[in-house]
Amino acid sequence: MRLSGKTVLITGAASGIGWAMAQAMAREGANVALNDIDSHKVAARVAELGGSTFGVTADAGDLNDIDRMVSTVAAHFGQLDVMINNAGVTRRCAFMDIDEALWDKVHRVNAKGVFFCLQRAAREMIPRRQGVIINTASIAGRGYPGTSNAAYAASKGAVIALTMQAARALARHNITVNSICPGVTRTELAQGIMELQAQKEGRDMAEIEARAVSGIPIGRMNEPEDIAEMAVFLASQAARNITGQSINVDGGLIMM
């Protein structure tokens, strides 16, 4: 039970990678606070996970909601040990079709939201001189050509840069900050993007999936659990001397 007694707050935890993280953290003995913007999904996931689980509905791109979310979780469990900034949005869009509305929607959650979530979490951690912050970035932020759109890639590049800046700023408080860069991962969001691509090209899903896998050296997509296991490691004492890093979990797609 590597996280016994630790309180972990995960944004965007009602589905996909966030839900896999929640389950993995709970298995390791953590008190898990699940966040999502959909209150019904949050309630259902809390009921499903059981144990020492707490749900908080909030918009991870809204500063008032962020403050309320972190305050509520810290008050409920008495502390906040691990903050996982996982909430994110995207959709497939060609480079020349990106407009201001899409850019702002993506960056509001993926970049602004991540910064203010980690900053607010740090305010809880600094007085206790300990804490772990984990950001979900993406290999899109490292230049992966198969990204859903350029705005998304830019937002994830921002997460990678923020991870380094936060790690430097918070190291003196014994707070580590790292990010995980997933590659092609089998989630509802990715499935929706591939379905749209299949419709656009007039191909079946098997072809689209085969094409996505063909460039992965290890020969398979991530499952959400692959990302969750990396998050558990980064949240544990085994990673106490790792900070400022952005770690790819992608089967070898981006080797840097």
- Of the candidates 32, 27, 29, 13, the one whose C-alpha atom is nearest the C-alpha of residue 73 is 32
- Choose the catalytic residue: 152, 155, 185, 250: 152
Closest alpha carbon to 185 in 124, 228, 123, 141: 228
**Residues 6 or more apart from 106 whose CB is under 8 A from it?**
89, 90, 149, 151, 152, 155
- Count the Cβ atoms, other than its own, within 10 Å of residue 98: 16
Active site residue 144: no
What residues have CB less than 8 Å from 122, skipping those under 6 apart?
Answer: 131, 133, 166, 170, 173, 175
Two structure tokens written together for 50: 């059981």
Q: Of 79, 244, 235, nearest to 178 (Cα)?
A: 244
Record the tokens describing residue 121, joined without a space: 């979490």
Residues noted as catalytic = 152
